[in-house]
């Protein structure tokens, strides 16, 4: 009996993974006590750092097993933002981690390289004009795709330069208000960044404040923050796999993100 087209396609993917002609790139930062957490303006409650305590470690508490209890804010390290995270997304259907359909966790990805601009200006904002130029080179951003903003910010491995806090708050690149409106018009799955959150460091001053939360979650779309290795991705042609925890009513969680790319 001959195999269906879809069975053949899966066999081909597996063969290509085995022979290295499809590569898997890990876009996830390690998660631990050193992981930086976002600093919101001081009038707001803050997210704690990751911490853990040992339950047992091959000792009297459990002679043959090692395990820990972890404490972690939902929005820590490389993490996923669900629509319910923002008040604008609270009435969207399937807006929590346990209700988002599995198929939405796998999709195409467009990588926008703003590394030069972000190196020159730590408050660089991605604009619709920048995206239109990208589209002239790489084609229209397809509906359902993830748009990832490459800034090389993940190469700032010390916390102080990663958060880049000054007297007037954080300074880091991100999307402009109009950029987010443009992406919603393209009907993307979501927006991802290399910075601590999806919004620019100074986005508390934008109108609306935190537009990549306010507008994107209001449209039922997702966020990915603190990604790395975006410099290993092609502008188009990769498949992104995002697997947050299935927390009941969860607004977000640390996530493992993989990209499958042609070698």
Terminal CA-CA length for the chain = 32
- What would the two tokens of residue 160 be? 């102080």
- Out of 25, 35, 50, 81, which residue is the one contacting Mn ion (CB under 5 A)? 81
Minimum distance, C-beta of residue 81 to ligand 23J, in the bound complex (Å):
5
Is 199 near Mn ion (CB under 5 A)?
no
* Residue numbers 16-55 binding ligand 23J by CB under 6 A: 38, 40
Is 81 near ligand 23J (CB under 6 A)?
yes
- Out of 75, 150, 217, 221, which residue is the one contacting Mn ion (CB under 5 A)? 75
Count the residues of the shown chain that bind Mn ion, applying the rule CB under 5 A. Answer: 3
Q: Which residues pair with 224 in a beta bridge?
A: 80, 192
Is 194 near ligand 23J (CB under 6 A)?
no
Minimum distance, C-beta of residue 60 to ligand 23J, in the bound complex (Å):
40
CA nearest 152: which of 190, 113, 178?
113
Minimum distance, C-beta of residue 202 to ligand 23J, in the bound complex (Å):
11
- What would the two tokens of residue 187 be? 């009907």
Residue recorded with tokens 């620019």? 200
Whether residue 217 contacts residue 191, with contact meaning beta carbons closer than 8 Å, is answered with no
Residue closest to ligand 23J, measured at CB = 197
The reply to whether 85 belongs to the active site is yes
Q: Which residues pair with 174 in a beta bridge?
A: 125
Helices and strands: H and E segment counts in the chain: 6, 14
Would you please indicate which residues are annotated as catalytic (active-site) residues? Answer: 85
């Amino acid at each position: 009996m001959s195999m269906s087209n879809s069975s053949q396609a899966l066999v081909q993917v597996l063969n290509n993974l085995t022979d290295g002609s499809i590569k898997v790139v890990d876009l996830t930062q390690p998660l631990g006590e050193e992981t930086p957490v976002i600093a919101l303006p001081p009038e707001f409650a803050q997210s704690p750092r990751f911490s853990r305590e040992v339950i047992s470690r091959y000792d009297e508490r459990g002679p043959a097993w090692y395990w820990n209890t972890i404490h972690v804010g939902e929005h820590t390290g490389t993490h996923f933002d669900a629509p319910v995270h923002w008040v604008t997304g609270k009435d969207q259907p399937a807006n929590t981690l346990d209700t988002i359909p599995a198929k939405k966790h796998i999709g195409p990805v467009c990588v926008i390289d703003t590394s030069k601009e972000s190196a020159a200006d730590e408050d660089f904002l991605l604009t619709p004009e920048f995206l239109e130029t990208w589209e002239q080179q790489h084609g229209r951003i397809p509906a359902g795709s993830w748009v990832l903003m490459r800034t090389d910010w993940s190469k700032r491995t010390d916390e102080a330069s990663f958060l880049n806090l000054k007297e007037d708050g954080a300074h880091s690149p991100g999307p402009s208000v109009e950029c987010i409106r443009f992406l919603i018009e393209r009907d993307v799955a979501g927006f991802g960044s290399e910075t601590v959150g999806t919004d620019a460091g100074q986005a508390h001053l934008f109108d609306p404040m935190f537009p990549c939360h306010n507008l994107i979650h209001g449209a039922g779309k997702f966020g990915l923050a603190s990604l790395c290795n975006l410099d290993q991705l092609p502008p188009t042609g990769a498949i992104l796999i995002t697997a947050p925890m299935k927390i009941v009513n969860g607004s977000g969680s640390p996530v493992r993100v993989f990209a499958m790319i042609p070698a």
